Amino acid sequence: MDYTTLGRTGLKVSVAGFGTGGGSRLGMKTGKTTAQSVALIHAALDLGINLIDTAEQYGTEPIVGAALKTVPRDQVVLCTKHHDVWMRERRTPAQVITGLDNSLRTLGTDYVDVFYVHSLRPPNYDYTMSVTVPALLREKEKGKFRFLGFTEAGPPDPEHVMAGRAIADDAIDVLMIAFSMLQQNGRRLVLEESRKRDIAITCMYAVRNIFSFPGRLAEEMKKLAAEGKVPAWLGETDAPLDFLIHPGGAENVIDAAYRYARHEPGVHVTLFGTGDIGHLKANIASLNRPALPESDLAKLAELFGHLVGVGMEYGEQKGG
């Protein structure tokens, strides 16, 4: 496993981060038992992953807590999150802090390494900054978490408006953004500046639904080609990104997608979620392979560099 320093937090982290949300939720959504999900976390740790991402909303904190009972606390970089606005309703700082306290209890720890405000949408940014953040920083002083972060909302904020503001305000130490082969604008809109300030970046959406649902990529390319947003040939094949698969290149499209995100300058940790041990092993292998060849990166930039918000939808079995 390759390790890196998580930006200015100074934490040593694996380049692969185990996400316990998304569509898989450690296999919860496909009927895995708690024991199976706990075993999956232990397998991830045995394979060298040391960063685990969870959230109150995912319902996976109890599983993470159960798994970590037998793991020395300082061997894991534990990240969780809470919304301060949920279904358009603002939560008071007291409610968010109660949520943080509940998370600590459920996770069986007295601190988390990163506490994120979850899915912070641009219209809520001022509320978060003026009301939630000052209250949270007092909890940080008490030692309940080590570093504050925000996560993007994904589909409602495909141009990274929230992230741009958070960086300009130097509001956080860790930022989770959506970045992928089909959603590259974070390079210009987030990473240029976050790198200057050494703000830690965790990457979501590298694969998500578009690369993992059979047929989804071809369907999306047909639509984009019909709209004139990508060259016509991409809409005329069932395997539009297979040009990435060749000796010296990617083994498959998912391998390409993880390697693409992992090697992007400024991305520290690439998150993936899975309920499947085979996928866990394959993704760790991908995230430890070299960057894609320069010629493939250039082609991806040329074909998709202008797209905004592609492959970021919520929903279905593998969304959320």
Ligand X SMILES: NC(=O)c1ccc[n+]([C@@H]2O[C@H](COP(=O)([O-])OP(=O)(O)OC[C@H]3O[C@@H](n4cnc5c(N)ncnc54)[C@H](OP(=O)(O)O)[C@@H]3O)[C@@H](O)[C@H]2O)c1
Interface contacts to ligand X, rule CB under 6 A = 19-24, 53, 81, 118-119, 151-152, 154, 176, 204-208, 212, 254, 271-276, 279, 282-283, 318
Which of residues 151 and 184 has its CB atom nearest to ligand X in the complex?
151
The one-letter amino acid code at 28 reads M
> How near is the Cβ of 198 to ligand X at its closest, in Å?
21
Which of residues 81 and 146 has its CB atom nearest to ligand X in the complex?
81
> How near is the Cβ of 112 to ligand X at its closest, in Å?
14
Distance from C-alpha of 186 to C-alpha of 180, rounded to nearest angstrom: 9
> How near is the Cβ of 72 to ligand X at its closest, in Å?
22
> How near is the Cβ of 206 to ligand X at its closest, in Å?
6
Which of residues 118 and 144 has its CB atom nearest to ligand X in the complex?
118
> How near is the Cβ of 169 to ligand X at its closest, in Å?
19
Which of residues 140 and 279 has its CB atom nearest to ligand X in the complex?
279
Which of residues 181 and 235 has its CB atom nearest to ligand X in the complex?
181
**Of 127, 99, 131, nearest to 115 (Cα)?**
99
